[in-house]
Chains A and B, each alone.
Chain A
């Protein structure tokens, strides 16, 4: 079974630029999560989708971050404009119904200069 796919794996941008990350969850997984992991810390939820609907985006900085999952499969996370403090690894995870076990992708390491 293929795992969660993410791209790109690495991205370096300058502050105030925009960037987008892509995630393809495990086939059949209805729930998709985006987490932000700052160096030395555990992942922190940004947004949770159930199919193509948002379940929880309470911790998403909506003035600069946006995410969508239009067809209930792939998802994109965008940052515009980026700030220095956005430097982190952005992890995508998915889980199948009815379990709560989340399976993570390899992440995208973002460096904002």
Chain B
């Protein structure tokens, strides 16, 4: 089946910088997109989601942007902190169905 992919497997930033993690998806029928953060030894933790009728959604220090024209999703983290270091997954889905995950981007934040 179709799956979600990520542009970069790793991203290294300095504390206080803004981070941008990108994701490309392939299923035009997907109408729900979500970002998860996964720390070592833990399950994925919900960060933020967005539906296909929106282009942008903001949370606390995080923003998700959706470009349906080019099937692109991004997660922006403002003022990145060492505690943000983790693997970030984007996932796509449709109402009531399971999510399809990409391979993840490892974010490393140095102080």
Which residue numbers of A lie inside 8 Å of B, CB to CB? 4, 31, 33, 35, 40-45, 48, 50, 55-56, 91, 93, 100-107
Contact = CB atoms under 8 A, between A and B. Distances in A.
Interface in B56-95: 89, 91, 93, 95
A100 B43 contact: no
Interface of B: 4, 32, 34, 36, 41-46, 49, 89, 91, 93, 95-104
Contacts, number: 55
A91 B42 CA distance: 10
Main secondary structure of the interface of B (DSSP, over half): loop
A16 B73 CA distance: 42
Nearest to B90: A42
A31 B98 CA distance: 10
A105 B95 CA distance: 21
A46 B107 CA distance: 27
Contacts of B89: 42-43
